[in-house]
């Protein structure tokens, strides 16, 4: 159920909220003050592409209260289509700005993800708490790879999150694992907010270096990520995401003409 105050821009059949990062933080803080929980999805090109054919991805989008553009190609496509989004709103930035905003209200976070060999989630949570006065850490989880295949372990992890009663949960397990966990947790934490934040936990913990700001601003962060993790990302980025991004950008001006 979307936040009704914000118009949604259609990108290849998916509505993206016309909202800034500062407005996201304000919406979440206000909703928490009113006792209302919610869910943020931050689609990049890869997730938007999957949503075209994946019924599960559509269900996650339909369940979201805020859908924000985490990828410059989405911003460019909205501009070419004549209905521009105001800015990129990346999960790796929101983990900081949301934590700072919740710290002002003395609220709590739960961090899931990071490198299990050195408890990346706990180190990320410590960094956030140190940088954001007033922020409380309700708990952390740093699951081993493949943990979701053990139903007992999975249920125990979810019970730990629910028992901690956090105000906001950062789930950095990668797509779609993080979205599946959020879908499972939401009914038991109706007053909490959730965001699937991908590699953001690794960035905050310092285990993976995020691209320089100029690369983030110019849409080249994918190239930095590819250089850092070529074996894992090359196939996805070059074989699937890049062709889809080019099609999205090429179709945007045509859609603009049709909508006149």
Domain boundaries, the chain: 8-214
pLDDT at residue number 5: 67
Q: Which CATH architecture has domain 8-214?
A: 3-Layer(aba) Sandwich (3.40)
pLDDT of residue 140 exceeding 80: yes
pLDDT at residue number 239: 73
Kindly report the three-state secondary structure assignment for every residue of 87-119.
CCCCHHHHHHHHHHHHHHCCCEEEEEECCHHHC
pLDDT of residue 108 exceeding 80: yes
Query: pLDDT tens digits, residue range 173-185?
Result: 999 999 999 999 9
In sequence order, the β-bridge partners of residue 123 are: none
Q: What is the pTM of this model?
A: 0.90
pLDDT of residue 63 exceeding 60: yes
Residue environment code for 31-66, b if the CB has 16+ CB neighbours within 10 A, otherwise e? bbeeeebbbbbbbbbbbbbbbeeeeebeebbebbbb
Q: Tell me the average pLDDT across 176-198.
A: 97
pLDDT of residue 220 exceeding 80: no
Q: Tell me the average pLDDT across 123-152.
A: 96
pLDDT at residue number 3: 60
Query: pLDDT tens digits, residue range 33-44?
Result: 999 999 999 999
Give 222's pLDDT tier (boundaries 50, 70, 90): low
Give 223's pLDDT tier (boundaries 50, 70, 90): low
pLDDT of residue 127 exceeding 80: yes
Name the least confident of 5-19, 56-70, 85-99, 228-242: 228-242
């Amino acid at each position: 159920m979307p936040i009704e105050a914000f118009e949604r821009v259609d990108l290849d059949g998916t509505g993206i909220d016309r909202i800034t990062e500062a407005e996201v933080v304000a919406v979440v803080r206000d909703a928490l003050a009113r006792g209302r929980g919610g869910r943020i999805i931050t689609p990049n090109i890869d997730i938007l592409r999957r949503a075209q054919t994946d019924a599960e991805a559509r269900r996650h989008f339909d369940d979201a209260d805020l859908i924000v553009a985490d990828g410059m190609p989405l911003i460019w496509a909205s501009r070419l289509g004549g209905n521009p989004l105001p800015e990129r709103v990346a999960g790796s930035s929101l983990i900081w700005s949301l934590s700072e905003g919740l710290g002002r209200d003395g609220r709590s976070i739960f961090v899931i993800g990071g490198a299990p060999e050195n408890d990346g989630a706990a180190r990320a949570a410590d960094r956030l708490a140190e940088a954001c006065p007033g922020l409380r850490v309700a708990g952390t989880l740093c699951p081993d790879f493949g943990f979701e295949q053990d139903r007992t372990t999975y249920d125990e992890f979810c019970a730990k999150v629910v028992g901690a009663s956090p105000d906001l949960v950062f789930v950095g397990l990668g797509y779609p694992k993080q979205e599946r966990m959020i879908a499972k947790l939401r009914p038991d934490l109706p007053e909490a907010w959730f965001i699937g934040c991908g590699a953001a936990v690794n960035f905050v913990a310092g285990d993976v270096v995020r691209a320089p700001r100029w690369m983030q601003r110019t849409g080249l962060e994918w190239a930095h990520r590819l250089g850092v993790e070529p074996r894992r990302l090359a196939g996805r980025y070059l074989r699937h995401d890049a062709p889809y991004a080019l099609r999205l950008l090429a179709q945007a001006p045509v859609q603009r003409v049709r909508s006149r």
